[in-house]
Structure 1
């Protein structure tokens, strides 16, 4: 597969993640770990037939491969929910959304990759756009929120580390994502049973949103992202990832669930310009 095609496939993940907030909102306010357990199970189901057919290719994989995949997918979500529970959502989200910038930085450690000034400048410009959007209501860094900020920082490090380190296990077929999701579903279920009260969707719309969430942003997105970071332009994917919060807000606006503001336009312009700078690099 060519680098361009892999990059285009990886960028589909960004488009799918733009639907995350919409489907989560419409799913009826399920507890986070319960929502994750169901979504991960659906994500695993997408690749289950292919996983069974290719199971011979996955035999004998070293433990580090499983720790990388499950640690990346489940670990990110575990600390993200911890961050939201212990810090204001806007601030925690902004810290967690350092992961695209870290991807650009960490990519310099990969064999055959070269970090150019344009990659860094583009990533910083795009981060400025995301910061403008996420922190538009202010920024509170009170000491009582440091646990949440610490968890959010771990989110950023875990997902960027997982994304970049996936290049080192590029020979492992991307269908392994189905197994990662299945194990993550079990871990999320255990977390739910330990800390949450079960709540079920009350409407058909909520059930459909839950199904779409598991098949798209928490399902297919992981598969195409794996292809992109293993075989595509990882620096450009890192910068393009900053489009997700802007597109997510735009989707909510179009769905009538959020107001349109000038900040959205400014953030989109910065992210688009940052992506252009990175692409030219």
Structure 2
């Protein structure tokens, strides 16, 4: 598979993740850990069926336990914090803060061997965080209310997922089929934590059940398999920039569903975050060209 094709495959995940907030809100009142367990069970089962159908199931035996542990911590950690953030803060604001992860991917990838961190990276980061601050500070009452823990959890999940994505680049030898085990293990851990920390609340409507199933098939299922291909074989910095289509599409989906208001402040925050990511990626590409030139200048 070519680098360009792998990047395109990875972008499918971005389109699917644009529906993550909408389906999460639709799954209410299912608590976060239970929702994580249910959706990942669906996504993992689909992955195992795919591996069996394509003859790739045998590849799972050669994967090191440390790789399975890494993938499980990454998936479980991100989604626990993400689902919790959406329960504790307005979904549009929490979703946009969580989507700082593409910017962090660009920044972290620039620190890999052979890359350089320049002023453009730092300015891009400042723009991204300015956008997040604009969302949080837009309503002063929210800073002292119950939404603040949700904003903090959204930021933590952004760090979790960006780290997972960049480190995955170093694990290119691990087959994509291993993601099915990540999903199953995440479902098991989530179920254990759910029993210990939450009361079981089944979906109360057909829409809620459909939202849980849709999460497992798309944003918490297929998305992780195509993303694995993209970050391992494609242009990870380009994927980082392209990933900022997701918060914009996600917010649009919430607005169309009547779950968020299309305020100018929200639009300005989205523009700042997106602009910061684009600037940081441009700086990465420029640094790459400079380092590869014969003079090094």
Residue 206 of structure 1 is matched in structure 2 by 208
Structure 1: gaps (5+ residues): none
Tell me, yes or no, if the aligned pair for 2:27 and 2:211 is still in contact at 8 Å.
Answer: yes
Give the TM-score normalised by structure 2: 0.79
Residue 44 of structure 1 is matched in structure 2 by 44
Distance across 2 between alignment mates of 1:236 and 1:116: 17
1:29 maps onto 2:26 in alignment: no
Residue 59 of structure 1 aligns to a residue in which SS?
Answer: helix
Q: Compared with structure 1, are the counterparts of its residues 24 and 201 closer, same or farther at alpha carbon in structure 2 (3 Å cutoff)?
A: same
Q: Compared with structure 1, are the counterparts of its residues 130 and 145 closer, same or farther at alpha carbon in structure 2 (3 Å cutoff)?
A: closer
Structure 2: gaps (5+ residues): 286-297
Distance across 1 between alignment mates of 2:7 and 2:129: 20
Q: Compared with structure 1, are the counterparts of its residues 134 and 177 closer, same or farther at alpha carbon in structure 2 (3 Å cutoff)?
A: farther
Q: Compared with structure 1, are the counterparts of its residues 199 and 149 closer, same or farther at alpha carbon in structure 2 (3 Å cutoff)?
A: closer
Residue 262 of structure 2 aligns to a residue in which SS?
Answer: coil
How many residues are treated as equivalent by the alignment? 280
Which of 177, 180, 184 pairs up with 2:179?
Answer: 177
Residue 263 of structure 2 is matched in structure 1 by 261
Offset of 1:242 from its aligned partner? 3.5
Offset of 1:199 from its aligned partner? 1.4
Distance across 1 between alignment mates of 2:255 and 2:150: 28
Tell me, yes or no, if the aligned pair for 1:104 and 1:120 is still in contact at 8 Å.
Answer: no
Offset of 1:162 from its aligned partner? 1.1
Distance across 2 between alignment mates of 1:135 and 1:94: 14
Q: What is the alpha-carbon root mean square deviation over aligned residues?
A: 3.2
Offset of 1:37 from its aligned partner? 0.7
Offset of 1:3 from its aligned partner? 2.2
Residue 19 of structure 2 is matched in structure 1 by 19
Offset of 1:95 from its aligned partner? 6.2
Distance across 2 between alignment mates of 1:30 and 1:182: 19
Residue 69 of structure 1 aligns to a residue in which SS?
Answer: helix
Tell me, yes or no, if the aligned pair for 2:81 and 2:157 is still in contact at 8 Å.
Answer: yes
Mapping of residues 51-200 of structure 1, within 5 Å: 51-52=51-52, 53-80=55-82, 96-111=98-113, 113=115, 115=117, 118=120, 120-133=122-135, 135-138=137-140, 154-200=156-202
Tell me, yes or no, if the aligned pair for 1:11 and 1:225 is still in contact at 8 Å.
Answer: yes
Distance across 2 between alignment mates of 1:84 and 1:170: 32
Tell me, yes or no, if the aligned pair for 1:243 and 1:268 is still in contact at 8 Å.
Answer: no
Offset of 1:173 from its aligned partner? 1.7
Indicate the structure (1 or 2) with the bigger Cα radius of gyration: 2
Offset of 1:81 from its aligned partner? 5.3
Distance across 2 between alignment mates of 1:83 and 1:19: 16
Cα shift readout 1:229-261 (whole Å, capped 9, x = no counterpart): 112222232233334333212111112232221
Tell me, yes or no, if the aligned pair for 2:96 and 2:247 is still in contact at 8 Å.
Answer: no
Offset of 1:209 from its aligned partner? 1.7
Q: Compared with structure 1, are the counterparts of its residues 15 and 122 closer, same or farther at alpha carbon in structure 2 (3 Å cutoff)?
A: farther
Distance across 1 between alignment mates of 2:240 and 2:67: 22
Cα shift readout 1:2-46 (whole Å, capped 9, x = no counterpart): 222222222222222221121122223211111111100111122
